[in-house]
């Protein structure tokens, strides 16, 4: 059963590349393994974050039978597929979980991806850039399957009854490292494959298979307590080196809630019952910069109090307030202005924002938003409502537009040459 989440907003184009993370609750070798923390983050959440950070991945789904894992996955930004008990036991294969997830998505959303990215939560150090490169190789038709592996020059032996036997070498010949062809050890971190090919073959290796080389430090796969301890020791240095930069929020319009976004969600009421709110001048400056850049801004609020319209008038932006069906109102506004929903950022803080968040390409939450909104967000701001959150988002949008403009100029110059 698919519990529909942010990655499957119906108004968006069908996802072309979907990442599925199988993460069952039972683990004999290391109980509770998928919720074990590395660098202060549960393993399943680390996998979700890595997949979401990959630019070529359109949606992320976690397949699980466990409530705790499902909660952590949603909080990290993934949708959840509830796995039946017969696919959650010790003998269940990863392939069965992947196939069930694909069937559930097709049945409940009509989504049939072109590329399936199988990500394992037990690999805590996944570089999103390596996923992107592997996806591009599959989309370009270079390979049908690309999997993560680390280069190895290890001499392998098997322990036979009559004595140890060399597996990948002759015991009588010990060639130098530089004279040996490299071999590759599968890391288990990710497998990128054509979804239709996987469905036909029923396993993850079919057709033309390619290798995505990963850094040796990223090749840890957690099977037991010793692996977990080693990953925790490495996490501070690896996470510091691979921490992602600010998100590139390249959009054509910004829509914001009012209470809890422009304000801290409190109000003063005088003896006559009149309300007043506190707003941030910093937010106003951010809105002014967006206006100067020609970016449409809309305040979309359920609050009917005139203070909302007065603040919008002061900011010089459009306003729709007293709105109970935010999703419908947002879709109508975007259609009337010819703006694609996937080119809109919406920032909210409470459950009445969810219908709008599910429609847009960039759902954003303020830091103190309710858990459901945090789970639905593609990006969570550092600042809270009424304390510069709108300014923070405005700066991200303008920086992203500058980057996009520079990329366009570079592309024109390259084409001219």
What secondary structure, in 3-state letters, does the chain show?
Answer: CEECCHHHCCCCCCCCEEEEEECCCCCCCCCCHHHCEECCEEHHHHHHHHHHHCCCCCEEEEEECCHHHHHHHHHHCCEEEECCHHHCCCCCCHHHHHHHHHHHHHHHHCCCCCEEEEECCCCCCCCHHHHHHHHHHHHCCCCCEEEEEEEECCCCEEEECCEEEECCCCCCCCCCHHHCCCEEEEEEEEEEEEHHHHHHHCCCCCCCEEEEECCHHHCCCCCCHHHHHHHHHHHHHHHHHHCCCCCCCCCCEEEECCCCCCCCCCCEECCCCCEECCCCHHHHHHHHHHHHCCCCEEEEECCCCHHHHHHHHHHCCEEEECCCCHHHHHHHHHHHCCCCHHHEEEEECCHHHHHHHCCCCEEEECCCCCHHHHHHCCEECCCCCCCCHHHHHHHHHHHHHHHHHHHHHHHHHHHHC
2-242 shares its CATH topology with 253-404:
no
Per-residue pLDDT at 1: 58
Q: Say if residue 250's pLDDT is above 60.
A: yes
Q: Say if residue 8's pLDDT is above 60.
A: no
How many C-beta atoms lie closer than 10 Å to residue 409's C-beta? 10
Of residues 137 and 244, more confidently modeled: 137
Whole-number average pLDDT of the chain: 87
How many C-beta atoms lie closer than 10 Å to residue 96's C-beta? 18
Of residues 320 and 27, more confidently modeled: 320
* 282 contact partners, CB below 8 Å, separation of at least 6: 388, 391
From CA 308, how far away is CA 330, in angstroms rounded? Answer: 17
End-to-end Cα, the chain, rounded Å: 53
Of residues 177 and 297, more confidently modeled: 297
Per-residue pLDDT at 411: 36
Per-residue pLDDT at 175: 82
Q: Say if residue 305's pLDDT is above 70.
A: yes
User: Cα angle vertex 162, ends 160, 166, to 5°?
Assistant: 50
Q: Per residue in 152-202, pLDDT tens?
A: 888 889 998 888 988 888 888 788 877 788 889 999 999 999 999 999 999
Report CA 104 to chain centroid distance, whole Å: 20
Per-residue pLDDT at 314: 94
Asked if residue 124 lies in contact with residue 223, where contact means CB atoms within 8 angstroms, the answer is: no
Q: 19-23, 264-268, 386-390: lowest mean pLDDT where?
A: 264-268
Per-residue pLDDT at 168: 85
Per-residue pLDDT at 2: 58
Residue 357 pLDDT level (bands cut at 50, 70, 90): very high
Single pTM value for the model: 0.60
Per-residue pLDDT at 36: 92
Of residues 273 and 143, more confidently modeled: 143
Buried/exposed 129-142: b ≥16 CB within 10 Å, e otherwise: ebbbbbbebbeeee
Q: Say if residue 254's pLDDT is above 90.
A: yes
Residue 74 pLDDT level (bands cut at 50, 70, 90): confident
The CA-atom distances, in angstroms, between 135 and each of 19, 146, 208, 299 are 11, 8, 14, 38
Pairing mode, strands 275-276 and 41-42: unpaired
Per-residue pLDDT at 407: 46
Q: Say if residue 211's pLDDT is above 50.
A: yes
Which whole number is the average pLDDT over 276-294?
94
CATH number of 2-242: 3.90.550.10
Per-residue pLDDT at 387: 95
- Closest by CA position to 305, among listed 261, 274, 264, 348: 274
Which whole number is the average pLDDT over 45-71?
90
Per-residue pLDDT at 13: 53
Which whole number is the average pLDDT over 100-127?
90
Of residues 376 and 143, more confidently modeled: 143
Per-residue pLDDT at 93: 86
Per-residue pLDDT at 408: 45
What are the boundaries of each domain within the chain? Answer: 2-242, 253-404
Asked if residue 255 lies in contact with residue 345, where contact means CB atoms within 8 angstroms, the answer is: yes
Q: 75-89, 214-228, 278-292: lowest mean pLDDT where?
A: 75-89
Per-residue pLDDT at 403: 67
Residue 416 pLDDT level (bands cut at 50, 70, 90): very low
Burial class (CB in 10 A: 0-12, 13-18, 19+), 17: buried
Residue 94 pLDDT level (bands cut at 50, 70, 90): confident
Q: Say if residue 19's pLDDT is above 50.
A: yes
Report CA 386 to chain centroid distance, whole Å: 26
Topology classification of domain 253-404: Rossmann fold (3.40.50)
Which whole number is the average pLDDT over 3-25?
68
Give 160's strand partners: 163
Which whole number is the average pLDDT over 309-324?
94
Per-residue pLDDT at 3: 57
Q: Per residue in 333-352, pLDDT tens?
A: 999 999 999 899 999 999 99
Of residues 410 and 219, more confidently modeled: 219
- Closest by CA position to 204, among listed 95, 60, 57: 95
The tokens for 89 are 């036991």
Pairing mode, strands 59-64 and 17-22: parallel
Count how many residues are written for the chain: 417
């Amino acid at each position: 059963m698919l519990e529909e989440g942010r990655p499957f907003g119906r108004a968006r184009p069908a996802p072309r590349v979907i990442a599925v993370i199988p993460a069952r609750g039972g683990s004999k070798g290391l109980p509770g393994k998928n919720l074990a923390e590395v660098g202060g983050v549960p393993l399943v959440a680390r996998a979700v974050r890595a997949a979401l950070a990959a630019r070529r991945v359109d949606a992320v789904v976690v397949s699980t039978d466990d409530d705790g894992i499902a909660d952590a996955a949603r909080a990290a930004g993934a949708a959840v597929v509830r796995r039946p008990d017969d696919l959650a036991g010790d003998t269940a294969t990863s392939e069965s979980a992947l196939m069930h997830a694909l069937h559930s998505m097709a049945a409940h959303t009509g989504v049939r991806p072109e590329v399936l990215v199988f990500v394992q939560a037990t690999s805590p150090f996944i570089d999103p850039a390596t996923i992107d490169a592997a996806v591009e190789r599959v989309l370009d038709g270079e390979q049908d399957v690309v999997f993560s592996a680390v280069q190895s020059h290890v001499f392998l032996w098997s322990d036979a009854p009559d004595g140890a036997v060399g597996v990948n070498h002759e015991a009588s010949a010990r060639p130098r490292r530089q004279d040996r062809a490299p071999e590759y050890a599968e890391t288990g971190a990710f497998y990128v494959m054509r979804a239709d090919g996987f469905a036909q073959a029923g396993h993850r290796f079919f057709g033309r298979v390619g290798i995505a080389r990963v850094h040796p430090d990223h090749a840890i796969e957690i099977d037991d307590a010793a692996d977990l301890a080693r990953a925790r020791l490495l996490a501070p240095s690896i996470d510091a080196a691979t921490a992602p930069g600010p998100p590139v929020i390249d959009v054509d319009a910004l829509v914001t809630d009012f209470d809890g976004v422009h304000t801290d969600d409190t109000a003063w009421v005088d003896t006559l019952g009149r309300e007043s709110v506190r707003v941030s001048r910093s937010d106003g400056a951010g809105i002014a910069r967006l206006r100067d850049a020609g970016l449409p801004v809309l305040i979309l609020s359920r609050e009917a109090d005139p203070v909302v319209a007065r603040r919008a008038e002061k900011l010089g932006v459009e306003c729709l307030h007293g709105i109970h069906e935010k999703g419908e109102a947002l879709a109508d506004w975007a259609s009337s202005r010819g703006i694609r929903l996937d080119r809109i950022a919406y920032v909210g803080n409470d459950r009445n924002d969810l219908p709008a968040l599910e429609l847009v390409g960039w759902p954003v939450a303020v830091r103190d938003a309710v858990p459901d909104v945090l789970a639905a967000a593609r990006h969570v701001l550092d600042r809270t409502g009424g304390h510069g959150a709108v300014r923070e988002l405005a700066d991200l949008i303008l920086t992203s537009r500058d980057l996009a403009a520079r990329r366009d100029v570079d592309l024109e110059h390259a084409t001219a040459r």
